[in-house]
Structure 1
């Protein structure tokens, strides 16, 4: 399944969409000359020149060094200005908090992380209060330069409390707590809230290396398992904003549960380790932990997770013929690579009749994917083209002045 190349329009009434298109292509390709942008967008050379000048004046673009040695005037490549915008991303997880400052091209300028037993509204707000000012100082950015604070967290945090040993009464506080409204009262920036798996998927799409494939499944193994779906080159959040919540998918013939979450989740490995050493089990969520200490349980869990993920992938392919599956998680790079190989070998053993085997690729952002994806929300919605949105809109809505 491949989408048509993105094209612009020379009508002056769609200038906003054309500017997004140019920014989108620059993000995908790194740098473009006027001639390259003209060819890719289908816009006139004059229209591209006007857009380049406007975006440069706004501070969104920087000029590169002229490329000489060709007939005519030297071409000047344009690229995104890393310092054009700064965003805060706050990931609220069942075992960890992560707070990052990200610039316009996805560089993490500063981060703060903490492991906790379980998240409550009180400790969620306390972590932000304790770390916000030091984080901005470390990133060398001011309050005024931040464009937004965006939150990534599991929806319905009060669910599945028994799976990660959290008290029901305290977790039920999330049922009536409006985190977005509370933060809007505390900070001077726009605040948005999104599903953590969808956010991690967005980080991979926007900040990861460009993929030729336009449709892919993104799987993220955290305390539980989640992820996202990319269709037509854009994140498809679904009606409730949580498409790609793969945890409830059924897994056949695997002792220990019928759901994917019962096998391909870090909390499963945590419980396996706790049976041997409770103190060791809690180190699983430290980003600098030595995972060689988790053997032999780690190898056992990787085999179990690989089999379960292979079944889930086949199920997903039976609905949409995704070209690629990206696998990421709160895992060291070496462990993530082992997991991808386990999934590959498990797919070798499954009946793939009726589906086309996808390419498997590792993700790129590991522990920080969800916080980075949260930070990227405005980049996605304000400075990129989402073909899924365009396909849903009517022409009179698209071509507003």
Structure 2
């Protein structure tokens, strides 16, 4: 059995796993992500530390895959920009290759997650897949004819920064009206906190869950309240789902996939989110009523999709 190591680098954690050919994780390791003020070498040290821990039991490992939250260049060696780290045109693959005596593959974390869902998760029966990851913002990936599409410069799939509302909410990217300002974890929490701060009587349940401290409200708290039957939380998630459906309809017009896989932390809301998304998707789909509709399904592999996909991509590429 050929084993590979997958590393998923996010804003808060560096998660690693020893992954077999079936996508099963045999061992795990985790570290906190160094603050973005730290030098790139500190992040490299963290990655190397995780790899060494996973190799410490003497397993025969074929390759290491890195899924990075950031723009990975078309050479799949350089991280052009990572918002939560100090990487700017960072030659990550070459730097790690000097310290790890295994083939190194670097890719965007959403690409890695999409690959994992196609190989082992929610999209195994389709060869044309678009993945949308709803977290703090929105990430995404495109798989066409069984191959990841990365674009000319390696940066395809940054769906969160499609403009859906001209001159709308200001986005951290510098533009206005970006999709992630309406269909992300940040958007959900922003709206819920605003209702608490306004002392809205319909936000009583949410306010009671955080003792009136709006800044302590999180997306999972809103989801929990909705599951408990709070109508306001249910409405907030439905609104996020509505905007999700709008964006997905646009992506269907561009890529015409057979399956949309919805991942990321917000997807834990399940049908509270996906039901409204499907409803809006059907109403906004170009040529509705005269064309097949893509499936919209929840991701199956959760937070470990990135490291599973990174490991599998590395194993496959090292074997060629």
TM bin, normalised by shorter chain, reads 0.7 to 0.9
**Aligned-pair distance for 1:377?**
0.8
> Does 2:280 correspond to 1:346?
yes
Structure having the larger proportion of residues in strand = 2
Larger radius of gyration: 1
Query: Does 1:152 find its partner at 2:67?
Result: yes
Aligned partners of 1:117, 1:181: CA distance in 2, in Å?
A: 20
1:204 Cα offset (Å): 1.0
Match of 1:251 among 148, 164, 171: 164
Q: Deviations over 1:322-365 (max 9, x none)?
A: 222111113574x2343222311222443643654212122111
Q: RMSD of the alignment, in Å? A: 3.5
The CA deviation at 1:253 is: 8.1
Who is 2:7 aligned against? 90
Distance 1:154 1:190 in 2: 20
Q: Does 1:142 align with 2:58?
A: yes
Q: Given the superposition, is the C-alpha separation of residues 136 and 247 from structure 1 closer, same or farther in structure 2, using an over 3 Å criterion? A: same
CA distance in 1 between counterparts of 2:154 and 2:80 reads 18
CA–CA distance in structure 2, aligned partners of residues 110 and 274 of structure 1: 39
Q: 2:185–2:266: 8 Å Cα contact kept in structure 1?
A: no
In 1, distance between residues paired with 2:11 and 2:114? Answer: 18
1:331–1:366 Cα contact (<8 Å) kept: no
Which secondary structure state, in structure 2, belongs to the residue aligned with residue 110 of structure 1? Answer: strand
Structure 2 unaligned residues grouped into runs of 5+: 72-78, 170-175, 195-212
2:147 counterpart residue number: 234
TM value normalised by structure 1? 0.60
Normalised by the length of structure 2, the TM-score is: 0.73
Find the partner of 1:375 among 311, 316, 319: 311
Aligned pairs (5 A) from 1:2-401: 84-114=1-31, 118-119=35-36, 120=38, 121-136=40-55, 141-142=57-58, 145-156=60-71, 171=85, 173-208=86-121, 211-252=124-165, 256=169, 257-269=176-188, 271=190, 276-279=213-216, 281=218, 292=224, 299=234, 301-331=236-266, 333=268, 335-350=269-284, 352-353=286-287, 356-381=292-317
The 1:150–1:268 alpha-carbon spacing in structure 2 relative to 1, beyond 3 Å, is: same
CA contact (8 A) 2:17 2:308 kept: yes
Bigger relative contact order, structure 1 or 2 (CA pairs below 8 A, ≥6 apart): 2
Count of residues paired in the alignment: 282
